[in-house]
């Protein structure tokens, strides 16, 4: 069957954060040792023999118990021997376990320090946003809907995260940095110049797939060098006129290509993000102690990108040190693969899987919405509570 292009409806359900096995193991690790000690002592007191005992792979030293028929209580026997050290508190016979407070305030339970429940550090409001926007021929209106939804999305996050600290990068999806019509030139471009640059100054990064866009060119593109307060090729917290600046970097035009999966992978590579390399196009964008939110928007199947879905997923995981709870993937694409009566083309259906949908469905925190929705504002805002929960549960590496 011939593949049809189209777009997909918003997801009907909203995923709720589910702590992954890796995160659960991190949170539970500090509690395993005291639990094993308590259970070991209980088993020994209920009739275990003398000598070392073990539970869950842990070995305990000999614990002496008083036979039930003895007329001497445990408390009495403990005071009939040599005098006790004054730094140790007395135990009562009714206690199943003992606790001792040291001079530094640490409470010791059954001979082990009790530090209380361990809480994840959280992302502390740090989020890195990577936008990968198709610059192919039919994307004009969809880019406009994305730009219109952006201010509300950011405001909704800021309301939930008072310490909101962001990086925002729009990745290049086209290698050919060239203006088709010099009259499209605006600031930082000479309308009287000649094709293909119309007198504009450009850098190697302007033509590199996955590199941060700061000078989008082409029909309906910004066609000017964007003014970023950070001095980097991506937006940071404190940017003046944030909405206008985002529009500048994200209005990529329609003279490009359909390779968002490939561009995303390129944008996440260590070399292009190296903060120590002054020539790295995205240097310093990715932060180890920040959540990563990737937004992919393309109105057709991604059949042109190099690599497989598995390789794209591996790039995401590698960028966040293998932590599936450290990134979220948001996809706006065709819904024609969902069957008939969808939004994009109700009378058509392409049964072949869309790789962008497969990517989002295959990660721990992925969401897919129809690119054909009238607007994306509500869809983005529905992700905010989920994103905040991810931030709260985040455990930075190291």
Alpha carbons within 13 angstroms on the beta-carbon side of residue 136 total: 16
Residue pLDDT tens, the chain, 398 long = 444 444 334 444 444 444 444 444 444 444 444 444 444 444 444 444 444 333 333 344 444 444 444 444 433 334 334 444 444 444 444 444 444 555 555 455 555 555 554 567 799 999 999 999 999 999 999 999 999 999 999 999 999 998 999 999 999 999 888 887 888 887 788 888 888 888 888 899 999 999 999 999 988 999 989 999 999 999 999 999 999 999 999 999 998 889 999 999 999 999 999 999 999 999 999 999 999 999 999 999 999 999 999 999 999 999 999 999 999 999 999 999 999 999 999 999 999 989 999 999 999 999 999 999 999 999 999 999 999 999 999 999 98
Tell whether domain 121-393 is in CATH 2.60.40.10.
Answer: no
CA distance 160 to 385: 8
Nearest CA to 335 out of 10, 11, 12, 7 is that of 7
Greatest CA span in the chain, whole angstroms? 107
Q: Indicate the pTM of the whole model.
A: 0.72
- The first and second tokens of residue 136, run together, are 């192919």
Q: Name the segment(s) of the chain with CATH classification 3.40.50.410.
A: 121-393
Question: Is the separation of the CB atoms in 285 and 319 below 8 Å?
Answer: no
């Amino acid at each position: 069957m011939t593949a049809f292009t189209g777009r997909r409806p918003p997801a009907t359900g909203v995923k709720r954060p589910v702590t992954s096995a890796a995160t659960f193991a991190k949170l539970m690790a500090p509690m395993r040792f005291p639990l094993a000690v308590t259970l070991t002592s209980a088993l020994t007191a209920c009739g275990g023999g003398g000598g070392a005992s073990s539970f869950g792979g842990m070995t305990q030293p000999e614990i002496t118990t008083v036979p039930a028929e003895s007329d001497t209580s445990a408390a009495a026997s403990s005071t009939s021997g040599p005098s006790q050290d004054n730094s140790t508190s007395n135990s009562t016979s009714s206690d199943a376990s003992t606790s001792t407070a040291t001079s530094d305030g640490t409470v010791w339970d059954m001979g082990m320090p009790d530090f209380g429940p361990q809480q994840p550090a959280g992302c502390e409001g740090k989020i890195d946003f990577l936008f990968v926007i198709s610059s192919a021929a039919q994307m004009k209106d969809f880019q406009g809907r994305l730009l219109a939804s952006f201010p509300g999305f950011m405001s909704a996050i800021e309301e939930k995260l008072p310490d909101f600290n962001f990086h925002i990068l729009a990745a290049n999806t086209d290698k050919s940095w060239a203006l088709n019509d010099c009259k499209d030139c605006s600031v930082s471009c000479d309308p009287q110049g000649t094709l293909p640059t119309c007198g504009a100054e450009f850098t190697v990064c302007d033509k590199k797939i996955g590199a941060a866009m700061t000078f989008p060119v082409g029909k309906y593109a910004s066609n000017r060098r964007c003014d970023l307060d950070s001095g980097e090729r991506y937006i940071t917290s404190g940017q003046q006129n944030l909405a206008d600046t985002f529009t500048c970097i994200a209005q990529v035009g329609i003279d490009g290509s359909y390779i968002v999966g490939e561009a995303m992978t390129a944008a996440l590579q260590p070399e292009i993000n190296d903060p120590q390399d002054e020539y790295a196009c995205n240097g310093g964008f990715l932060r180890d102690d920040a959540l990563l939110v990737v937004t992919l928007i393309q109105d057709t199947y991604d059949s042109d990108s190099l690599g497989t879905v598995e390789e794209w997923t591996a790039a995401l995981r590698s960028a966040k040190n293998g932590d599936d709870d450290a990134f979220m993937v948001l996809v706006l694409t065709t819904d024609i693969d969902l069957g008939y009566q969808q939004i994009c083309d109700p009378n058509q259906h392409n049964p072949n899987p869309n790789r962008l949908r497969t990517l989002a469905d295959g990660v721990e925190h992925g969401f897919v919405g129809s690119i054909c929705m009238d607007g994306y504002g509500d869809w983005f805002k529905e992700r905010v509570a989920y994103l905040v929960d991810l931030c709260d549960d985040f455990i930075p590496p190291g």
